[in-house]
Structure 1
Amino acid sequence: MRVFGIAGHSGMGKTTLLEHLVPALQARGLVVSVIKHSHKDLDMDRPGKDSYRLRETGCQEVLLMGRRRWVLMHELSEDLEPPLAQLLDKLQACDLVLIEGFKQGDFPKLEVWRAALNKSPLWPTVPGVMTMASDDSTAPFGMPVIALADITRIANFIVEHAEMHNASLNP
């Protein structure tokens, strides 16, 4: 299992880029998974549903199985968020895991940056950023820039630079 990160400020288009990258990487025969970190509280359940009612009883985990998919919900309560390596270990075998978030993790990353949002790049303070994907090829980033619309080139970069998952991955 190899890993590669997609970093950037909120609203830069990280998820939109992933929506284009996953099919492009799958077309190369790769099995791709994604881990997305959110700073928001997240609840996939709804009051009144059986899984919600069971979670409310105090279960640490509820695994819900449906005809076409399953989901494992783990309650963190007051626990700290688990490290990325622990989450990676929960994934089934795949060729590549694209990681959105976990900016401080020690793995290779591409930063998505859009000029219109008027924010400074993260890369000087975020480890592992190797290139920028941007809609502005003239911005002085001090590192290589790939056009955000050039999905093939971005996919090539990811395949070339993704690293093998190891237990020492930080956040």
Structure 2
Amino acid sequence: MGCIIQVVGKKDTGKTSAIERAVKILKEKGYSVAVVKHSHHEIDIQGKDTYRFWEAGSDIVIFNDSKCVMFYRCNLNLLYLLPVDIILVEGYKDLELGKKIEIHNPTEVDEISRKIVSEAENCNKECNLIINGKKVECDDPLTVLLYNLLNYLKIRELKIES
């Protein structure tokens, strides 16, 4: 269900700015959006509690204040399960994760952000899910997650018996 659009380019070419503008426009249009940022820097700070839990071997560490951050040793295949309409990826130039858009310099930010929005709007976001014999709207994150998981695993029919 989620469309994946990669924005690639060298350092300081405007990737973050283009994605930021596209996110604002897509949110105004009612889309749910996730952004994945490739970085060579650590986000967790050595010595802090979350870092210590991670180093101790925890499989998942969740930090929750007014926002929620989850640290998880993840495989990029999990992108296909995210319960959103559109997934924007900054970086991972050497990987083929989705539609790839390259930016060369900051003067292209407006053009690239418009291109991202256009690609997102034209992407197939259809969700056909039948549960207990009834077509279900994919209007909540858990239903979208279920749809994405079944679709990713190429499961067309599933029956659970008690």
TM-score by length of 1: 0.61
* Mapped partners of 1:111, 1:162: distance in 2: 18
Q: Can you list the C-alpha shifts for 1:80-134, whole angstroms capped at 9, x where unaligned?
A: x72x222442x3x2111111122221521211112xxxxxxxxxxxxxxxxxxx7
Q: Comparing both chains, which one has the higher relative contact order based on Cα–Cα distances under 8 Å and sequence gaps of 6 or more?
A: 2
In the other structure, the counterpart of 2:56 is 57
In structure 2, the CA distance between the partners of 1:148 and 1:65, relative to structure 1 (3 Å rule), is closer
Matched, 1:105 2:93: no
In the other structure, the counterpart of 1:85 is 77
Contact 2:37 2:91 in 1 (8 A): yes
In the other structure, the counterpart of 1:96 is 86
Q: Cα RMSD over matched residues? A: 2.8
In the other structure, the counterpart of 1:154 is 115
* Mapped partners of 1:102, 1:111: distance in 2: 11
The count of corresponding residues between Structure 1 and Structure 2 is 127
In structure 2, the CA distance between the partners of 1:8 and 1:54, relative to structure 1 (3 Å rule), is same
Contact 2:35 2:90 in 1 (8 A): yes
In structure 2, the CA distance between the partners of 1:113 and 1:58, relative to structure 1 (3 Å rule), is same
Per the alignment, in what secondary structure is the counterpart of residue 31 of structure 2? coil
* Mapped partners of 1:52, 1:64: distance in 2: 10
Q: Offset of 1:35 from its aligned partner?
A: 0.9
Alignment of 1:4-153 (within 5 A): 4-38=5-39, 40-47=40-47, 49-66=48-65, 68-75=66-73, 82=75, 84-89=76-81, 91=82, 93-103=83-93, 104-114=95-105, 135=107, 147-150=108-111, 153=114
In the other structure, the counterpart of 1:117 is none
What is the percentage of aligned positions where both structures have the same residue?
28
Per the alignment, in what secondary structure is the counterpart of residue 12 of structure 1? coil
Uncovered stretches (5+) of structure 1, i.e. residues with no partner: 76-80, 115-133, 136-146
Contact 1:85 1:167 in 2 (8 A): no
Q: Offset of 1:3 from its aligned partner?
A: 1.4
| Structure with greater helix percent | 2
Uncovered stretches (5+) of structure 2, i.e. residues with no partner: 126-147, 154-162
